[in-house]
């Protein structure tokens, strides 16, 4: 699974070679510039920054794919058939080499991503399988079967890993459907065989604080939130999360975990792009439903003996039931399950919060299109499943700010400390320059009586802040400035404030841009904060380092060429 690149690339033709212009942001000034790079620069950087290696460090994943391949190939041979394997999205070629080790008669691997495909060719050669594995540099949906095609005949075993945290987000439905129509024989064995999506309704004020901006209070409401933001369902993108690391006292399950969607990858049942399912369920306790926790598992073989589960600890099949009920056993439970960054669990926010009463049945309704899931809750039974459009942000705030930023804006302790400090500095005569993106504390400063110049260079953030200013009736006290060229003169202000926070910052210290902007003013102008400390500590991780750890030998195969690719191009 390759994560989306943050690089914006524009291609231009120079001297008959394709070049790339990359946008480089100066974190000190916030100014973007363009640099010409090699034509594969962005691709290599994407590989280097991805968690691709973490997937290859996942021993349980590798082992169960291997056992499923071994079983499938043996079944074909026992039936007197050849074992002709197709590996879609081969990556480094690991699954294809496993098929070769298990005695497959022919192996065709396809990989569309050129830098990885080139690396896979090298890895396959170095492991001595170049005569056994044919690698096609194409998407599987572009492959041709027949004489002079990519495959002389259809395969009868398919192995593929085209899954993400949302299971179907990488196009699994269309990939499997096309494979059955064009690339596979009728009674082919597919690895994995089936997939199941699980859902659990929860109450959690912690979790919902990442989705909706709440008012800032200090005994009274200092900053109110526009109704359009409070009622917005939030960002459409899935919120992936390590649910096992979420403290157990921060959420309460209201409905039991249950399978809501089942996908038969074998081709025996149709794979539909659009489905809706309703589960009438008895709540396990009363509460307010804020969100849905989701995860999935895979049945790897046709006999359903090999289960690959992404469940969190309290629902994971590897954890004994007596441990699941004991909160003090959390660390022991975590140690019993595989750690994965490439497949996590997900949170889906409900369009509206629903009160659930113990003893009253609830309808959990799930929807999916070709790539995504979404959910709805209704109290009581229903005669017909209602249609429901996929939730999308219509308030701008969820487009402007990340969920992490929204959680920061909702941090009560943080806000109270800022308010306490500002109350000591701000008077009705104060004129403040606020240098931070999406800074609701600027409205607190205005509420305390000051006049505020608010620098908002990002269009989306500026539009959102205009909504807050209007709803809180502070237009006469806050002037929004769109660029540094429009900043007030030193004679016009007596206080400079910043959280500091900037949307362009990738790492925390890039927020030190606040001091760069503040340095344009005389030092005798009071400012907050007055200093920052960068702290560092050497740590040993149990699992997290696998995202970047070298592979070396993986499941008995030499994958060091992939390590060289990463080391060469890693930032």
Question: What residues are labeled active site?
Answer: 161, 170
Tokens of 374: 């979404």
Q: What angle do CA 450, 456, 460 make, to 5 degrees?
A: 130
**Cis check: omega of the bond before 52, within 30 degrees of 0:** no
Residue pair 110/158 in contact (Cβ under 8 Å)? The answer is no
Helices 59-78 and 94-101 pack at an angle, to 10 degrees, of: 40
The backbone region for 254, taken as left when phi is positive above 0, alpha when psi lies in -120 to 50, beta otherwise, is: alpha
Instruction: DSSP for 230-245, please give it.
Output: HS----SS-EEE-GGG
Q: How far is the first Cα of the chain from the last one, in angstroms, to the nearest whole number?
A: 19
Residue pair 508/514 in contact (Cβ under 8 Å)? The answer is no
Helix (H, G, I), strand (E, B) or coil at 411: coil
Alpha-carbon distance of 418 to 420, in angstroms, equals 5
Q: Which strand ranges, in their side-by-side order, compose the sheet holding 155-160?
A: 133-136, 106-110, 84-88, 155-160, 184-191
Which residues on adjacent β-strands are paired with residue 13?
A: 18
Length of the chain: 571
Residue 387 CA, chain-centre distance (Å), reads 26
Torsion of CA 245, 249, 255, 258, to 10 degrees: 20
CA 47 → CA 2, 7, 306, 430, 467, distances in Å?
Answer: 7, 13, 30, 51, 40
Residue 221 CA, chain-centre distance (Å), reads 34
Tokens of 133: 């594995």
Helices 41-49 and 114-126 pack at an angle, to 10 degrees, of: 70
Instruction: DSSP for 542-560, please give it.
Output: SSGGGGT---SEETTEE-H
Alpha-carbon distance of 288 to 290, in angstroms, equals 6
Q: Which of 141, 138, 86 is nearest to 111 (CA)?
A: 138
Tokens of 188: 């082919």
Tokens of 184: 């596979």
Residue pair 525/496 in contact (Cβ under 8 Å)? The answer is yes
Alpha-carbon distance of 468 to 453, in angstroms, equals 15
């Amino acid at each position: 699974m390759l994560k989306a690149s943050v690089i914006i690339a524009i291609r231009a033709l120079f001297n008959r070679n394709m070049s790339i212009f990359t946008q480089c942001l100066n974190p000190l000034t916030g100014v973007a510039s363009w640099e010409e790079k090699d034509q594969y620069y962005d691709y290599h950087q994407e590989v280097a920054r991805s968690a691709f290696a973490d997937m290859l460090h996942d021993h349980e994943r590798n082992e169960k794919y291997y056992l499923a391949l071994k079983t499938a190939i043996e079944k074909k041979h026992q039936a007197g058939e050849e074992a002709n394997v197709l590996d879609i999205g081969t990556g480094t070629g690991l699954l294809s080499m496993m098929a070769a080790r298990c005695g497959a008669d022919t192996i065709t691997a396809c990989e569309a991503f050129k830098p990885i495909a080139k690396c896979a060719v090298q890895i396959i050669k170095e492991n001595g399988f170049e005569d056994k594995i044919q690698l096609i540099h194409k998407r599987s949906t572009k492959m041709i079967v027949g004489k002079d095609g990519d495959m002389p005949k259809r395969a009868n075993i398919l192995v593929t890993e085209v899954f993400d945290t949302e299971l179907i987000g990488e196009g699994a439905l269309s990939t499997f459907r096309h494979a059955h129509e064009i690339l596979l024989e009728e009674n082919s064995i597919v690895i994995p065989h089936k997939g199941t999506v699980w859902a659990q309704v929860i109450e959690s004020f912690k979790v919902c604080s990442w989705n909706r901006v709440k008012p800032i209070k200090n005994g009274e409401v200092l900053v109110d939130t526009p109704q359009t933001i409070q009622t917005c369902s939030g960002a459409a993108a899935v919120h992936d999360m390590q649910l096992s690391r979420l403290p157990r006292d921060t959420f309460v399950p209201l409905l039991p975990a249950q399978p809501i969607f089942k996908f038969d990858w074998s081709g025996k049942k149709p794979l539909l792009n659009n489905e809706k399912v309703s589960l009438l369920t008895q709540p396990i306790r009363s509460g307010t439903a804020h969100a849905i926790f989701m995860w999935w598992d895979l049945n790897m073989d046709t006999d359903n003996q090999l289960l690959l589960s992404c469940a969190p600890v309290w629902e994971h099949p590897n954890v004994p039931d007596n441990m699941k009920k004991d909160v003090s056993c959390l660390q022991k439970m975590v140690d019993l399950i595989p750690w994965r960054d490439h497949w996590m669990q997900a949170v889906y926010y409900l369009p509206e919060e629903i009160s659930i009463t113990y003893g009253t049945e609830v309808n959990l309704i799930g929807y999916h299109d070709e790539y995504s899931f979404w959910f709805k809750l209704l109290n009581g039974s229903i005669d017909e499943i209602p249609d429901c459009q996929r939730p999308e942000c219509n308030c701008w705030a969820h487009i402007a700010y990340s969920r992490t930023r929204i959680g920061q804006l909702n941090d009560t302790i943080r806000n109270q400390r800022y308010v306490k400090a500002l109350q000591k500095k701000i008077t009705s005569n104060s004129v403040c320059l606020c240098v931070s993106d999406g800074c609701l504390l600027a409205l607190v400063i205005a509420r305390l009586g000051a006049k505020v110049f608010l620098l908002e260079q990002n269009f989306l953030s500026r539009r959102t802040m205009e909504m807050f200013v209007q709803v809180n009736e502070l237009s006469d006290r806050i002037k929004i400035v769109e660029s540094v060229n429009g900043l007030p003169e030193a004679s016009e202000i007596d206080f400079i404030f910043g959280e500091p926070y900037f949307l362009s910052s990738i790492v925390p210290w890039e927020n030190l841009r606040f001091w760069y902007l503040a340095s344009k003013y005389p030092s005798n102008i009071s400012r907050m904060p007055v200093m920052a400390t960068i702290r560092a500590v050497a740590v040993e991780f149990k699992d997290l380092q696998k995202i970047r750890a070298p592979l070396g030998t993986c499941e008995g195969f030499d994958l060091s060429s992939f390590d060289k690719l990463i080391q060469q191009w890693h930032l």
